[in-house]
Structure 1
Amino acid sequence: MRTNIFHIVFIFSCVLGTFTPALAQDGKAKNIQLNAEKQNNITQKPLPKVPQDSIPVTDTIPVKKNAPLDAIVKKSAKDYEKVNLKKSELTLYNEAHLIYKDIDLTAGIIVFNFDKDEVYAGRIKDSLGNYTQRPVFKQGQNIVEPDSIRFNTKTKKALVWNSRTTQQDFKIKAEVSKRVNDSVYYMQKARLTTSEDIDNPEYYFNIQKVKFVPGEKVVAGVTNMVIADVPTPLGLPFGYFPITSNAVSGFIIPSFGDTNNRGYFIQNGGYYFAINDHVDLTVLGDYYTNGSWATRFESSYGKRYRYNGRVNIRFENIILGERGFPDYSKTRNYNIQWSHAQDQKANPYSKFSASVNMGSSQYFRNSLNMANIGASLNNTLSSSINYNKRFTTVPEVNLSITATHSQNTNTKRIDMTLPTVQASVDRIYPFAKRDESKRGIIKNINLQYNFNAQNKYTTSDSLFFSPTMFKDQGKTGFSHNIPLSTNFKIFKHFSVSASANYNEVWQLNTIRKYYDSQSNKVVDENINGFEAYRTYNLNTSIGTTFYGTFNFGKEKRIQAIRHTVRPSISYMYTPSFEQYYDTYALDASGTNYGDYTKFQGGLYGVPSLNQASNVGINIGNSFEAKVRDDEKGESKKVMLLNSLNIQTTYNLAADSLKLAPLRIVGGTALFNNKLNVNFGTTLDPYAIDNAGRRIDKWNIDNGGSLFRMTSANLTLGYSLSSRDLKADGKENLENLNAANGGRPDDLFGRAIDMADQRKSLFNKQSEENTSELYNLDIPWDIQFAYSLTYANTNRESRIVTNSLMVNGNLDITPRWKVGASTGYDFANKGVTFTQLRFERDLLSWRMSFNWVPIGFNSSWGFFIGIKSGALSDIKWDKRSLPEQRLR
C-alpha cells in the first residue's frame, strides 16, 4: 500500500509538471492560458498502470470536480507561480500580474481561487521589512490602488482596504471599501481631495460614510474639511459631488462684496448649460444694491478637425450716485467678442476665420467685472471676418470676402465695411509658354487682374447699427486694377523693373459743390448714381547691390566689418486727369473759384489733378562684423545694424518745393536679440517762414543748417530673464490683455477676469526644481520699453513723448512669485500705471494678491481658492474695485 501510494504521488507530480512550471525559479515572466478544456483534462486524465498490491486501494475522500474557468487567464510573476489543484488556487509572488476577463491586476502577491471565483491581492515585504508593491486593480476605466483587495469575479463584489482611486479631478482614499457591483461602492472613513498626493494631501474632506458611483457621483454623509491635517469648523451634514466624463449643466455660485459708490453686490452668479459635445453656454450676472446690473453670455464651440471658436457677449447697466443729485449718472456699456478658427485639415481650398472685438468705446474703462488696463489704454478696437476661396483653374483665381470694423475709443468714430470683396487672377505670361523659362524682357512680361469692391460705413458710437447709419452714412465703390510688368538685368549686376498700371474706379456716391447764397457758405451735396473714372501711371526702377569690407587683421578681436549697400533709383510718371475736375465759387464775389472733383470722399481716392514726374532715391545699408570667438577658436558673424534706409523723391513737374524731405529709418537687435532698437528722423532741406509754412528756399541759404530736423523717434525694447526667454517666447495661449484689445505683454499690468480668478497672474514656466527653496538659480524675467519722440515742424522744438515702462517677475521660491509693472513719463513728469502682483502656489490651492497703489484705477484684490474646476466655488474673494467715474 505504501509503495503504491509512493508511485501514485510520484506519477501525479510528473503529470502536474507537464501542465505548469511549478516552483519556477528562472525569474522570467510566463503567460499560460488556462481554460475549461485543459482543466477538465487534468482532473479526468487516467493514471498510468502500475503494479497492483494484493490489498485493493480505496480512497475514502470523494474526488471533487473542479469548476471550469470561463475565460483565458494570463499570468506572470518574478519569483514563482504555483498551482494547487487540491485547493484550486493559483499563487503568484513578487511583481505578480494577472489578467482575467476585464480585470487587470498587479500586486506583490496574488491568490486566485478557481472554485470560489475569488482573487486576493496584497503587498509583500522587502528585505528591510517594508511593505512594497501595492496592488493596482483595473477594470475598464476604473483604477483602484489599495493596500489589499479581495474580489469575486462572478458576483463582482469586493472588499478593499485603504483603497485609492481617481475620478477626474477627485482622488478618494478609504480605510474600508465594499464593492456591491460594477457601479456602486460603499466606503468607510474616506478622504476626498483634489491634491496630487493622496496619502499626504494639503487638504481633504473627511467623510465617515460614502456611496461612490464611478463616473457619476459621490454621495457623502457627515463631511468635515481638513486643512494641513487640522480639522476646520467648516462642515456639512451631507455632501454631493458630481463626477462625470461629460459636461453637466449646473448653477454657478456667485461672490459677494461691497463698493463705496455702488453698494453691496452679488457678482458672477449664473448657470452653465452643457448643450452637447460641441457647444456650451455660460450665463453670468451681477447685481448692485444701487441698481447697477450686468449680464454676460460666454460660449465655446468646436468640432474636431473642422473648427473651434468662442463667443463672449457682455452688457452692463452702470449707475453712480443717487437719482436727483448732481453726481448722478447712468450709462449702458456692451462688448461683443467672437473668435473662430478653421482647422487646416478641414478644407485646403477655402477658409473661414473671425476675430471680432466691438462695443461701447468706454467699456473697458468702466467695466464692472474686468480690470484690464492694457485694453482701457488702447485707443482702437478692431474686428475682421474673412472667407477665402481658391479656385484651381489655369490661371488660378483667389476670392476673398471680408467684413471689417475699426473703432476709435477716444473720438468714438467707427469705420465698418460690409463687406469688402477682393478677387485676383494669377500672373499671366502672354509671351512665354507655360513650362518655359521666363527670361528676357519680352518673355518676362506678365499681367494680373485685381478686383476690389467695398461697402463702407462711417458713423459714431451712438449711431452704430442704427437706421441712420445704413441710410445716410454708407459709401459703395468698385476698383479694377491691371498691372503690367517685367524685369531683367543689364550689365550683369543691375536689376531693372518696369511696370504700367491701369486703374478704373466705379462709385455709386459722388458730390456736387456749389456756393449757396442763402446760407452764405459752400454746400456739398451728396448724389447717388453710377460714376466712373480711369487713371494710369508708369513706373521703372534700377538697383544693384555691392559690398565693402574693412579688414583689421585675424589677430584682432574684431577681424572685419562688412558694409552692404543696396542703392536704387526709381521713376514714376502720373499724368494730369483734369477732365474729372470742375470749379465752384468760393464766395458771392464771383471772382474766387476753386477746383474739385465729384469723386472726393470716395473709397479709392481721387484722380490726380497735377502731373507728377517723380524721381525716387533709396539707399539701403546693413553692417555686420566678423568677431573672433576665443572659446571655440573660430570666427562668427555679428549683426551691427540690420537696416539703415535713406530715401527721398524729386518731382520734376512741380513748380516749387521739388525735393521731398529726407527720411532716415533704421533698426537693429543687440545682445543676442535681447535689445531691439528702432529709430527714425525726417530732414527737410527747405526753410519755413514766420507762419511755419515751407518756402521755396534752401534752409542753408536762410541762415540755417543743410537740413532742418522736423521729427525724430527712438524706441527701445529689452527683454532679459534667467532662462533667456525672448519677449515673444512666453506662454500666451489665452492672454486676456491681447484678447480684449490690449498689449500682449505685461507692461501695462496683467488683466484680471473677476469671473475666474483661478487663472495665474504669471506666465507658466517649467519648474525643474520642486524643492521649497532655490539655491542660486532664482527664475526671473524683466522687460523694458522706452519711447522718445521729438517734433520741430514749426520751430517748437519739443519732446512729444518720453516714457519708460518696466515689467518684471521673480520666483522667490518654486511656490512664491512676485511681479510688478510700472513706468515713468518724463515729458509729463508722472508715474504711469503701476501694478504689484503676488502669488502663492498652494499645490491644490492658489492664493494671489494684486494691488494698483496709485492713479485713477487704484484698487486691490485678494483671492484664495481651489484650482480644480470641480470645486471652484470653494474660495474666498475680497477686492476693492476702481472707483472711476463714467466718462
Structure 2
Amino acid sequence: MQANLKYIVFVYFLPLFYFGGLIAQERDSLTPAQVEFKTPQMIPVSDTTELNFAENKIIELDTVSLDTIKPKKESFLTDNIVSTAKDYIRFDRTNGRAYLYNQGKIVYGDITIEAGLIILDNTKKEVYAFGIKDTSGTYTQKPVFTQGQNVVEPDSIRFNFETEKALVYNSRTDQGAFKVKGEVTKRQNDSVYYMQNVKFTTSEDVDNPEYYFYARKIKMVPDKKIVTGFVNMYIADVPTPLGLPFGYFPLTEERASGFIIPSFGDNNQRGYFLQNGGYYFNISDYFDLATLGSYYTNGSYDFRLESNYKVRYKFSGNFNFRYEKLLTSEPGFPDYAESSIYNITWSHSQDGNANPNSRFSASVNLGSSEYYQQTINQTNTGNFLNNTLNSSVSYNKTFQGEPEVNLTIAATHSQNSNTGDISMTLPTVQASMGRVYPFEPKTGSKSGIIENINFQYTVRGENNFDTNDSIFFKPEMFRDVESGIQHSIPINTNFKLFNYFSVSAGTSFEENWVFKTYERSYDETAQEVVIDTVNGFESYRTYNFSTSIGTTIYGIFNFGKDKKIQAIRHTVRPSLSYSTNPAFDQYYDSYVIPASTGIEEEVVEYSKFQGTLYGAPSNSYSSSIGFSVTNDFEAKIKSKDTLAEEPETRKLLSNLSFSSSYDLAADTLALSPIQVRGTLPLFKEKVNINFSAALDPYALDNSNSRIDEWNINNGGSLFRLTNGNVSFGYSFSSDDFSKDKSKDDKKGEDSDTFRQGGRTDDLFGKGMNYDGTFEDEEEKPDDEEVDNENYNYKIPWDLTLSYTMTYANAARQNEISSHSLMFSGNVDLSPRWSVGASSGFDLKDKGFTYTQLRFQRDLESWRMSFNWTPFGTRESWYFFIGIKASVLSDVKYDKNRERDRSL
C-alpha cells in the first residue's frame, strides 16, 4: 500500500498502445483464451510511448510552428514489467481496458499485485483488482498487494492514477503485532491511510478473532502508529464497557519505553495494595532499566531496580536491587512493627572469545538474611526456602611465558539466612606460577621419578570478615578483620612401579604471615581466660610429606553369549597412602589455671596463632596410613535389537568405596571410622541412588564417649553404624518415552530464581513474572498445530522427585534425623490447559512441606494463570488474565491475596 500505484497502472496501458497496430477481432464477452499465459510477459518500458484510445477523435495540428527545442520528458519507470495470468491476458481497445484473469500477477521492481481478476480502465483512469468465484461459488484469489515487507489483502481495490487516491474494501494487513481489517480504506499518500469501521487485534484469525478493538474511524501510519477516535473492546463479538474516547497504538516491533501496569490485591496486615508497577526505560540496544514499586494502604512500600545489559561477543549480565519497608498493623496498636529489608543480585559473564588471557565474572546475592522469608512480593516465591546466600566477584589474568603466571583478584561472600552470620573475603589476591619440571628432557616425554619432579609457587593474600548482617558494612565490621598472606611451594613426582602400580610422592612447604596475634592468660580474680590482641607482624612455617600407590584390577565373569546377561566385569581400584605431619611445638605457649576446691591445677597449651586467618599449626605429630578400595560392577546384556552386533553395557554398581586410616603415632583411637560410599543405578541409569555410611570399630562408654576398646569386645558387633544417608533425584518426562529425547540441560539457568540462589527445577515452586507467566515457561509457537483427536494418547508431562533420608547413631540416639520426599510435576491436560504442582512430605514429622499449585490456560491471544499456595506461612493466591502480545501487555487483570503471617 505504500507504493505509487499510478506507476503500475500506467504500465498496464503500455500494451494497449503496443498491440494497437495489430488487427484483431474484439470480443464483447470474457471468453477464456485457449492458450494459458503462464510464461511471464516482458513489457518494455518506453518514455516516448503516447496513449490515445479514442479511435473516432480527429487530431488537428496547430498552424503555429512547434518549438524546435523538444521538452525533456520526465521518466518515472525504471524497470520492466513482468505480468502473468493462468487463463488469459486480454486487451479491449474499444473500451480502453486490459484484463488479467485467474491468478493474475504483475511485478514491477519490489511491487507485486496478485488477484483473480485485474482490470485496467484507461477511460476512467482507474485500476480494479478483484477475487473470483470457483466452481463451488467460493470467493477466492482475493487481491494481495506486496511492497517490501508490507502486505495488504483486501476484497477489492479501486485506484485512480490521476488523483493518486485509492479505495480499498475489506482490507487486511499485518502491522507489527497487530492484524488490521477495515471495511473501507482511503489511501491519502504513501504513508497515511484513513480507515472506516476498523477491527484490529493480535489474534491470528482477523476474520474471527477471540477479541478485537473496534473503531469507527482511524488514521494509520504503517510501521509507526494507529490513532483512533472512540474505540472500545469486543470479546467474542460482544462489546465490553472497556472504551476510550481516543486511542494510540504503536506499531513498531522494536523495544520501547513505557509504563508497567501494577497488579492489585489486599493483605490482612497491610491493607489494599498495588504491586509491581512502574516504568520501563529502553535506554539503548545494549542496556535497559525497569523501575518498579508497590504500595500498601498501611504505609508499607517496596522499590526495585532491574536492569539487563549485553554487548555481543564481549559480555552480558543483569543487576537487581530490591528494598522493602514493611509495617505491620497500624501505628499506636500494640502489635505494630516496622522493618526494612533489602536484596542485591548481580550476574555478569564474559564471552569466552572476548579476551583469552583475562576474564571477569560476578555472581552476587546478598542482603538481609530474612529478605526471602519476609518479602510479600509474588515474584520471590521460588526463593524463600533458600538457607544460604553466596556471592563471588573475580578477575583473572594470565601472563604468557615460561613459566606461565595466573593472577586472580576476587571477593567472596557467604551468608546463613537462619542465623544471619556472614563470612566475607574482601579482597583475595592470588598469584600462582605454572608447574615447572626442572629435570624434564629437552625432547620426548617424561618418565621416571627424576624427570617427573615438579614444583609450583603460589602466594595468596586476603582480608576475612566474620560478622553478622546486623552490623554488615558498619564500622564494627571492619574492626575485627583478619588479614594474612600465605606462601605455598608443593613439590611432587610420580612414576610407574613394575608397570602396574602408579606411585606419587610429594612434600609441601607453607609460610603464613599474619598481622595480629592473640595472647592468652588466666585471670584468677575473674576466674576466666583473658585474650589480648597483639598487633604486629608474625609468621610461622609448616611442612609435610605424603606418598601413595595404587593400581587397577579387572575381573570378568563370562556366562555365555546365548545368555541374557553375557558377562559381568568387576573393576577394583585399591590405593594405599602414607602421610606424616611434624609437631610444631615451638609455636605454642601455656598458661596455668590454679587449683581450686575439688579441681586440680591445669596447664593449658595454646598458640598465639589460634583465631588468626590460617589458624594455628598442629602441635601433635601424626604418621598415618590410609587405604581405600573402589569397586565398579558392569554387565554386558544381550540387546533387544536383533540387528545389533554388540551387547549393551549397563552399570550395576558404581563407585562402591571403603576408606579409612590408621595413625601410627596415636596412643588411643588410632583407627578412623570406615567410610562407605556408592551409587546404585536403576532403570537404565535414569535413577542414581547415592548412599553413604560411617562404621566405627570403637565402643562407647556410659556417657556415650568413644573409648579405646573394640566394639566387638564390648559385647557389640564388629562395627557401629554411626550415621548413614540415602538420597536420589529423578527427573523424567513424556519425551523419555518418545523418539525425540532431546533435553535442554541448561533449562532454568537464566531464571531470576536461579540467579538468586534457587534451584533450576521447580521443586521449591516457580516464581512469577510480571506478565503472568511462570519462570522457564516454554512459549508454544502460534502456528503449532495440535492433533486434538490423538492428544489424549501423547499428553506432555514431566515429573521431578527428590528423596533423602539421614540416620544418626553417633551417641546411641538411633534415630532418623531427617526423612523427606519432594516432588514436582506438570501436565498438559489438553493442547491449551496445563497444571502443575510442587510439594513435599516430611516422613519424619508427618506433614506436607511448602506446596504450590499452578494452573494455566492458553486462550490463543490471551493467557490466564492461577498460582495457589493453599497452606503454610506463604499461603496466598495469584490470578492473572491478559493479552499475550507485548504491545498490549497492559491490557490485563491480575490480583493476589495472602494470609496474615502473624497468625
Instruction: Normalising by structure 1, report the TM-score.
Output: 0.89
- Cα offset for 1:483? 1.7
- Cα offset for 1:568? 0.9
- Cα offset for 1:336? 0.9
Distance 2:34 2:484 in 1: 90
Q: Provide closer, same or farther for how the CA distance between residues 384 and 99 of structure 1 changes in structure 2, counting only shifts above 3 A.
A: farther
Q: Contact 1:487–1:497 (CA<8 Å) still a contact in 2?
A: yes
Whichever residue aligns with residue 777 of structure 1, its letter is K
Q: Provide closer, same or farther for how the CA distance between residues 544 and 177 of structure 1 changes in structure 2, counting only shifts above 3 A.
A: same
Structure 2 partner of 1:670: 682
Distance 2:633 2:322 in 1: 52
Q: Does 1:659 align with 2:674?
A: no
Distance 2:100 2:406 in 1: 69
- Cα offset for 1:658? 1.1
Distance 1:9 1:112 in 2: 15
Structure 1 partner of 2:633: 623
Distance 1:246 1:587 in 2: 81
User: The residue matched to 2:887 in structure 1 has which SS?
Assistant: helix
Structure 1 partner of 2:772: 757
1:495-514 Cα distance to aligned partner (Å, 9 max, x none)? 11112212222222322222
- Cα offset for 1:585? 3.1
Q: Contact 1:758–1:865 (CA<8 Å) still a contact in 2?
A: no
Instruction: Find 2:77's aligned residue among 41, 48, 70.
Output: 70
Structure 2 partner of 1:819: 836
- Cα offset for 1:555? 2.4
Structure 2 partner of 1:54: none
Q: Contact 1:67–1:114 (CA<8 Å) still a contact in 2?
A: no
- Cα offset for 1:10? 10
Structure 2 partner of 1:649: 661
Q: Contact 1:33–1:72 (CA<8 Å) still a contact in 2?
A: no
Distance 1:241 1:366 in 2: 40
1:363-392 Cα distance to aligned partner (Å, 9 max, x none)? 111112136454212210111112222222
- Cα offset for 1:395? 2.3
Structure 2 partner of 1:504: 511
Structure 2 partner of 1:324: 332
User: The residue matched to 2:373 in structure 1 has which SS?
Assistant: helix
Whichever residue aligns with residue 476 of structure 1, its letter is S
- Cα offset for 1:134? 4.1
Q: Does 1:547 align with 2:559?
A: no
Distance 1:113 1:341 in 2: 65
Instruction: Find 1:532's aligned residue among 539, 542, 546.
Output: 539
Q: Does 1:562 align with 2:569?
A: yes
Structure 1 partner of 2:499: 492
Q: Contact 1:71–1:100 (CA<8 Å) still a contact in 2?
A: no
User: The residue matched to 1:812 in structure 2 has which SS?
Assistant: strand
- Single out whichever of 590-599 and 401-410 deviates more from structure 2: 590-599
Structure 2 partner of 1:735: 751
Structure 2 partner of 1:477: 484
Whichever residue aligns with residue 750 of structure 1, its letter is K
Whichever residue aligns with residue 696 of structure 1, its letter is D
User: The residue matched to 1:723 in structure 2 has which SS?
Assistant: helix
- Cα offset for 1:689? 1.3
Q: Contact 1:487–1:495 (CA<8 Å) still a contact in 2?
A: yes
Q: Does 1:867 align with 2:884?
A: yes
Q: Contact 2:264–2:896 (CA<8 Å) still a contact in 1?
A: no
Q: Contact 1:75–1:96 (CA<8 Å) still a contact in 2?
A: no
1:86-133 Cα distance to aligned partner (Å, 9 max, x none)? 799886655555443553444445567999997655434445443444
Distance 1:308 1:664 in 2: 44
Structure 2 partner of 1:20: none
Whichever residue aligns with residue 875 of structure 2, its letter is S
1:833-862 Cα distance to aligned partner (Å, 9 max, x none)? 222221111111111122222222222222
Q: Contact 1:773–1:814 (CA<8 Å) still a contact in 2?
A: no
Structure 1 partner of 2:28: none
Structure 1 partner of 2:395: 387
User: The residue matched to 2:449 in structure 1 has which SS?
Assistant: coil
Instruction: Find 2:408's aligned residue among 400, 406, 410.
Output: 400
- Single out whichever of 334-343 and 407-416 deviates more from structure 2: 334-343
Whichever residue aligns with residue 410 of structure 2, its letter is T
- Cα offset for 1:554? 2.3
Instruction: Find 1:338's aligned residue among 336, 346, 364.
Output: 346
Q: Does 1:790 align with 2:797?
A: no
Distance 2:160 2:436 in 1: 78
Summarize the alignment of residues 703-718 of structure 1 with structure 2, pairs less than 5 Å apart: 703-718=715-730
Distance 2:390 2:507 in 1: 35
Summarize the alignment of residues 332-371 of structure 1 with structure 2, pairs less than 5 Å apart: 332-370=340-378
Q: Contact 1:81–1:90 (CA<8 Å) still a contact in 2?
A: no
Summarize the alignment of residues 848-887 of structure 1 with structure 2, pairs less than 5 Å apart: 848-885=865-902
1:734-776 Cα distance to aligned partner (Å, 9 max, x none)? 43432332222222222234x4424468555787625387232
Q: Provide closer, same or farther for how the CA distance between residues 362 and 827 of structure 1 changes in structure 2, counting only shifts above 3 A.
A: same
Instruction: Find 1:841's aligned residue among 850, 853, 858.
Output: 858
Distance 1:11 1:120 in 2: 22
Instruction: Find 1:419's aligned residue among 427, 434, 457.
Output: 427
- Single out whichever of 787-796 and 489-498 deviates more from structure 2: 489-498
User: The residue matched to 2:735 in structure 1 has which SS?
Assistant: coil
Q: Provide closer, same or farther for how the CA distance between residues 802 and 176 of structure 1 changes in structure 2, counting only shifts above 3 A.
A: same
What is the Cα-based RMSD across aligned positions, in Å? 3.3
Q: Provide closer, same or farther for how the CA distance between residues 387 and 447 of structure 1 changes in structure 2, counting only shifts above 3 A.
A: same
Q: Contact 1:727–1:783 (CA<8 Å) still a contact in 2?
A: no
Whichever residue aligns with residue 534 of structure 2, its letter is I
Whichever residue aligns with residue 319 of structure 1, its letter is L
Q: Does 1:607 align with 2:623?
A: no
Q: Provide closer, same or farther for how the CA distance between residues 392 and 154 of structure 1 changes in structure 2, counting only shifts above 3 A.
A: farther
| Number of equivalences | 855
- Single out whichever of 413-422 and 770-779 deviates more from structure 2: 770-779
User: Which structure 1 segments of 5+ residues have no match?
Assistant: 1-7, 16-22, 45-56
Structure 1 partner of 2:706: 694
Q: Does 1:596 align with 2:600?
A: no
Whichever residue aligns with residue 632 of structure 1, its letter is T
- Cα offset for 1:638? 1.0
Structure 2 partner of 1:746: 762
Whichever residue aligns with residue 878 of structure 1, its letter is K
User: The residue matched to 2:586 in structure 1 has which SS?
Assistant: helix
Distance 2:545 2:163 in 1: 91
1:798-845 Cα distance to aligned partner (Å, 9 max, x none)? 100111112222111011111222221121121222222211111111
Summarize the alignment of residues 223-372 of structure 1 with structure 2, pairs less than 5 Å apart: 223-370=231-378, 372=380
- Cα offset for 1:795? 0.6
Distance 2:424 2:760 in 1: 25
User: The residue matched to 1:365 in structure 2 has which SS?
Assistant: helix
Whichever residue aligns with residue 892 of structure 2, its letter is K
User: The residue matched to 1:752 in structure 2 has which SS?
Assistant: coil
Q: Provide closer, same or farther for how the CA distance between residues 536 and 62 of structure 1 changes in structure 2, counting only shifts above 3 A.
A: farther
1:223-255 Cα distance to aligned partner (Å, 9 max, x none)? 121112222232222212233344433333323
Q: Provide closer, same or farther for how the CA distance between residues 608 and 773 of structure 1 changes in structure 2, counting only shifts above 3 A.
A: same
User: The residue matched to 1:72 in structure 2 has which SS?
Assistant: coil
User: The residue matched to 1:424 in structure 2 has which SS?
Assistant: strand
Q: Provide closer, same or farther for how the CA distance between residues 846 and 761 of structure 1 changes in structure 2, counting only shifts above 3 A.
A: farther
Q: Contact 2:111–2:146 (CA<8 Å) still a contact in 1?
A: yes
Instruction: Normalising by structure 2, report the TM-score.
Output: 0.88
Q: Contact 1:264–1:289 (CA<8 Å) still a contact in 2?
A: yes
Q: Provide closer, same or farther for how the CA distance between residues 225 and 509 of structure 1 changes in structure 2, counting only shifts above 3 A.
A: same
Q: Does 1:771 align with 2:788?
A: yes
Q: Provide closer, same or farther for how the CA distance between residues 772 and 611 of structure 1 changes in structure 2, counting only shifts above 3 A.
A: same
User: Which structure 2 segments of 5+ residues have no match?
Assistant: 1-16, 25-32, 62-71
Distance 1:878 1:359 in 2: 28
Whichever residue aligns with residue 693 of structure 1, its letter is S
Whichever residue aligns with residue 656 of structure 1, its letter is T
Structure 2 partner of 1:52: none
Q: Contact 1:772–1:814 (CA<8 Å) still a contact in 2?
A: no
